[in-house]
A and B are shown apart, each in its own frame.
Chain A
Amino acid sequence: MKYLADWIVVENTPLNVRYCLLRLRLNQELPEMQPGQFVQAKIENSPSTFLRRPISIHYVHRDKREIGLLVQIVGNGTQKLASLTVGEKLNLIYPIGKGFSIPKPDKTKQTLLLIGGGVGIAPLLFLGQTLKQQGFIPEFLLGARTRNDLLCLDDFAAVGAVYITTEDGSIGEKGFVSNHSVLSNTKADFIYTCGPKPMMMAVARYAKRHNIPCEVSLENTMACGIGACLCCVEKTVDGNTCVCTEGPVFNINELLWQI
């Protein structure tokens, strides 16, 4: 079931010049939401922004009827989201898509590695929190360009161990997530990843080579977000498949990536 409603902005914190964290409240019970699912946000008063913007659910505070959105400002639509003020409304279609799969309850001893880069870390916090609540021990491997581009570290650290890479080496190991030593020191039982496509492909390649099951979250450009327009398709083993309804999360075995 999908819903359409106005949410109230209860907080909008700039994290640095390119990122902000929006906290939104609904005046009714939240529906069931899965990590990896996203919302379609209606952008008001931005003449160059015609369509809604897909944004991942960053966290859910069910008791307060709140969700968080982590937004990277890349153009006018996300700029509008960043300039929302407390008390303003934001119209969302929610929750959308199929999220990450949660392992069977008897697998709590497994090593689950959540690998994120850039704004792709957004859904991984919700995923990590959900896994932890269900008795799993998630670990994060987060990559960024510089120390200043690493966001919400405290939130991640509160959920599990955090490994870091930066391209300039200003914090953590220098390089890309796919080169981090944790990948050679331990063999994860399951990898979840979200971030820029080259990063996800490198992670998928690593997972495939080491025979580790791996799920990726795609960011294909979308129009409707609800399976009506067929604009967002990814070629999979089943042919052209809607990312907004069958994804955004896919197992790498379903994709036709050359890895």
Chain B
Amino acid sequence: MADLTVKIGQLTLKNPVLTASGTFGYGLEYADFFDLSEIGGIVVKGTTLHPREGNAYPRMAETPAGMLNAVGLQNKGVDYFVSHIYPAIKEINTCMIVNVSGSTIDDYVACAARINDLEKIPAIELNISCPNVKQGGMAFGTDCASAAAVVKAVRQVYNKTLIVKLSPNVTDITKIAQAVETEGADAVSLINTLLGMAVNTETRKPVLSTITGGLSGACIKPVALRMVYQTAKAVKIPVIGMGGISCAKDAIEFIIAGATAIQIGTYNFIDPTISVKVAEGINEYLERHGFSSVQELTASLQV
């Protein structure tokens, strides 16, 4: 068995495989299928200061090798999370990370501060990249100054591991990554969904209620991989890679390109047990190639 542990800020993950926000519920939805403690971590649903109803149905359109979603951060707010969900998930024996979203800097700060008090939540992932709500954070994630401002403000109230999730809907993602690194982010995770759309030709109407939505799944992998590669070269903090990972080989590509850890999103819908399989597959790969630890593989791309 190779050493699969990785370090992200103050965290030590038992392996580099996490599940991505918005695709894994609160973890409990998958507990019937496998032992959740076998994966490195779970990033739970996007949580906001106030409850959000999300967007109108239809919220989903399948695409070749992927899907568009326009969920729009439906959640019951951080107070409900603290009182009703946290008690149910705090015994899950893996690293539980809360994805924090907001429309204003004050919202992000207030939400992060609430979660800072939760003993069994050792990290947050600051979502400055949701494409599906008007002031859904993507505005923060597409501009260096705003990205820096929100991270700076949250850093003042949040003293555990702070991961910042980046939007791919920018000209140069490395600039945003550097801006949040400067303000004290412990790691960056990327990519969130790519802005896309679908048209129903019979009705000449958009398929999604919001017209545009976020593209995820296998079809975005090459774009995500390229961004992870570029970002890992541009920052010193760990990069958590995601976007279209559907098997161990995909995950290994991200790690070789520079990712310290990876997240699996949409593919959980197709194979709810994919995350454990990927963790096992990474171990097999490391053994087969004579690596003693996964950390040796990170950024080992031979160019």
Count A interface residues, CB 8 Å.
30
Q: Which A residues lie within 8 Å of B57 (CB)? A: 220, 232-235, 240
Residue from the list B24, B29, B54, B64 in contact with A50, Cβ < 8 A: B64
Q: Does A23 contact B (CB under 8 A)?
A: no
Cα-based distance from A135 to B207 in the complex (angstroms)? 45
Q: Which B residues lie within 8 Å of A14 (CB)? A: none
B22 adjacent to A229 (CB under 8 Å): yes
Cα-based distance from A220 to B56 in the complex (angstroms)? 12
Q: Which B residues lie within 8 Å of A3 (CB)? A: 32
Q: Does B23 contact A (CB under 8 A)?
A: yes
Q: Which B residues lie within 8 Å of A222 (CB)? A: 60
Q: Does A48 contact B (CB under 8 A)?
A: yes
A221 adjacent to B67 (CB under 8 Å): no
B54 adjacent to A228 (CB under 8 Å): no
Q: Does B30 contact A (CB under 8 A)?
A: yes
Cα-based distance from A146 to B69 in the complex (angstroms)? 37
Q: Which A residues lie within 8 Å of B66 (CB)? A: 50
Q: Does B71 contact A (CB under 8 A)?
A: yes
For residues 1 through 47 of chain B, which have their beta carbon under 8 Å from a beta carbon of chain A?
A: 22-25, 29-30, 32-33
Count B interface residues, CB 8 Å.
33
A228 adjacent to B69 (CB under 8 Å): no
Q: Which A residues lie within 8 Å of B67 (CB)? A: 50-51, 223
Residue from the list B54, B58, B59, B269 in contact with A224, Cβ < 8 A: B269
A226 adjacent to B272 (CB under 8 Å): yes
Cα-based distance from A240 to B71 in the complex (angstroms)? 11
B29 adjacent to A240 (CB under 8 Å): no
Cα-based distance from A229 to B69 in the complex (angstroms)? 9
For residues 219 through 259 of chain A, which have their beta carbon under 8 Å from a beta carbon of chain B?
A: 220-235, 239-240
A93 (CB) vs chain B CBs: closest residue:
B272
Cα-based distance from A239 to B80 in the complex (angstroms)? 16
A234 (CB) vs chain B CBs: closest residue:
B57
A230 adjacent to B74 (CB under 8 Å): yes
Chain A positions within 8 Å of B, measured between CB atoms, are 1-4, 42, 47-52, 93, 220-235, 239-240
A sample of 14 inter-chain contacts (CB < 8 A) reads A4-B272, A4-B273, A42-B270, A50-B66, A50-B67, A52-B270, A221-B58, A223-B269, A224-B268, A226-B25, A231-B71, A233-B54, A235-B57, A240-B74
